[in-house]
Each structure stands twice: as structure tokens, then as C-alpha cells.
Chains A and B, each alone.
Chain A
Amino acid sequence: MKKTLTLLVASTALTAAIGVPAWSAMQSPPDVLRSVAALFDDAPQAMPLVLASDDDDNDDDRWRDGSRRGHDDDDDDDDDDDDDCRGGARNPAPAGTVAPPQNGLFGNGAPPQVQVN
């Protein structure tokens, strides 16, 4: 009987020791959690901010590295379906697949016709 009681007390104490901090953390406002997490996140994020050079400053008028198409050929087609999205941005529907936008510029007549010579 004494042994059972001891086991029950021990398991209750253990549960309380683990559970109470976890429960109170769940009850805390999200901002508090975020600010605590930020203390740990700041250090790894700070490292990439140290720049050895200022080369990036002169690239405003060029397509950035992240924007490059990944191939060096001179063709002008865009029919390939690689890496079509960045940051969830969708590519527009090609001409002929949907009607032109209702922006007041277009009539309701013939669909757009395009030719490259």
C-alpha cells in the first residue's frame, strides 16, 4: 500500500514538473513566445548581414542572379515550363487561352493576333 502511494506521488510530481511549464507556455501570449524565440534566432540571422564587399550596389540595372533564366542560349521563346513561379507569383495566361482583360481598352471582336518576324 505504501509502495503504491509512493509510486503515485512520484508519477504525479513528475507529471507536474513536465506538464506545468509546458501548459503555461501554451497559455502565454504569442508575442512573448516570439520574443523569446527571437533571442535564439537573431544570432544565426546576423551572420549573413556581414558583407565583405558592396558589389551589389551597382547591380540595380541588371537582372539579379535570382532572376536569371538559367540558360545562356539566345532563343526568344518562353515555352519551357521550368521554374515558372517565384514566391507564389503566377504567370499570366497566354494569348488565345482566355479573353483579354476587361480594362475598357478592348472591343468584343477578334481575339489578339501576334506574329514575330
Chain B
Amino acid sequence: MKSLLATLALTTALTLPGLAMARPVTLTTTLNNYGGDGAYLALYVTDTSGAYVGSLWMAGGKSKYYEHLSDWYRATGGDTAQVNGITGASVGAGRTLEITLDLADALFDAGYTLHIDAAVEDMRDSPNEVAVPLTTDGAGTPVSGRRYIASFAYDM
């Protein structure tokens, strides 16, 4: 009985921090009416030194076009394992992409930056279209992109 209680206490102690260390975050990206095909978007995170940490989302399923997401491609070497399970369809002009992810709390207020690279067929590639620091204060504040993205915001 005693050992059962000890086991239960241990599993609870191990599980609770895990639940508390992540939260659902919604990333909302609205594209301009740029008059082209669907845009490929790579959402990824860098640390304080600008080093690639990991990817959050890839809009566009065909890896042969990833070289046009040039900053992401340079950081990852085009490794599709980086975006396994976090890849969806490309996003049409004027559309809004809304992604809800369970993100680690440690990502916020720790010097991390979220970047978006964008590319459209027969149009200019746009690396680092958006670069926004991940802070709790910055949540809900829309930022504009350089070429294809009308606005981007994260909410939690």
C-alpha cells in the first residue's frame, strides 16, 4: 500500500509540471491580395544568438519548393524531418491561416524570435518576411510583413 502511494505521488509529481509547462498558442497569419498562387510559409524560431532552434509550422507540402524559403532552408538544409507533423497546405492570396499549437512556456520572454519565410511561384522569394520577439506582452499585437503577409499575431 505504501509503495503504491509512493508510486502515485511520484507519477503525479512528474506529470503536473509537464502540464503546466506548455500552453495553447494561436498563430494568425493574413496574406495580402498579391495576385499569385498559394504562398509557401515557414514559421520557425531562433534563439538570442540568431541560431535556428526549431520549426513551428510549414504551409506547403512539397519539399521541392522549400529552397525558396531561403533562410529556413539555409538553417535546416531542407530537412523535412524538421516539419514532420506540422505541415499543411499552402495559403492562398487574401486568406488567413490560423494555427493553434501547444507551445512550451519556456519559449516566451526568453529571447526567442519567431520568423516567417514566404515564397510564391513566379514571384520574389521573401525570407524573414516577419520577425517578432516571443513575449507575453507582445501577444495579440499584430505586425506587418514585408511583401506577402498583411498581418501576423500570436495569441495565448
Residue numbers of A with Cβ under 8 A of B are: 61-63, 67-69, 74-79, 83-86, 89-101, 103-117
Q: Find out whether the CB atom of B123 lies under 8 angstroms from the CB atom of A112.
A: no
Chain A to chain B: the 7 pairs with minimum beta-carbon distance, closest first:
A107-B22, A103-B54, A76-B38, A76-B92, A109-B102, A78-B61, A86-B64
Residues of A within 8 A of B65 (CB): 63, 67
Question: Chain A interface mostly helix, strand, loop or mixed?
Answer: loop
Q: Mark B45-83, 1 if CB is under 8 A from A, else 0.
A: 100000001111110111111011000000000101111
Check if B23 sits within 8 Å of A107, measured CB to CB: yes
Asked whether any CB of chain A lies closer than 8 Å to the CB of B96, the reply is yes
Given known A62-B124, A68-B121, contact A103–B88 (CB-CB < 8 A): no
Chain B's interface size range is: 35 or more
Q: How many A-B residue pairs have CB under 8 A?
A: 164
How far is B92's CA from A13's CA once the two chains are assembled, in angstroms?
75
CB < 8 Å neighbour of B82 from A98, A103, A107: A103
Do B22 and A63 touch across chains, with their CB atoms under 8 A apart?
Answer: no
* B3 on the A face (CB < 8 A): no
* A91 and B80 form a contact (CB under 8 A): yes
Q: Judging by beta carbons under 8 Å apart, are B88 and A95 in contact?
A: yes
Q: Is B139's CB within 8 Å of the partner chain A? A: no
Q: Report the Cα distance A101→B44, complex, angstroms.
A: 12
Residues on A with C-beta less than 8 A from B121 are 63, 68-69
Distance of A95 Cα from B23 Cα, bound (Å): 18
- Quick one: which of A92, A100, A113, A117 has the most chain B CB within 10 A? A92
Question: A106 touching B125 by the CB < 8 A rule?
Answer: no
With CB as the reference atom, state the residue of chain A lying closest to B37. A74
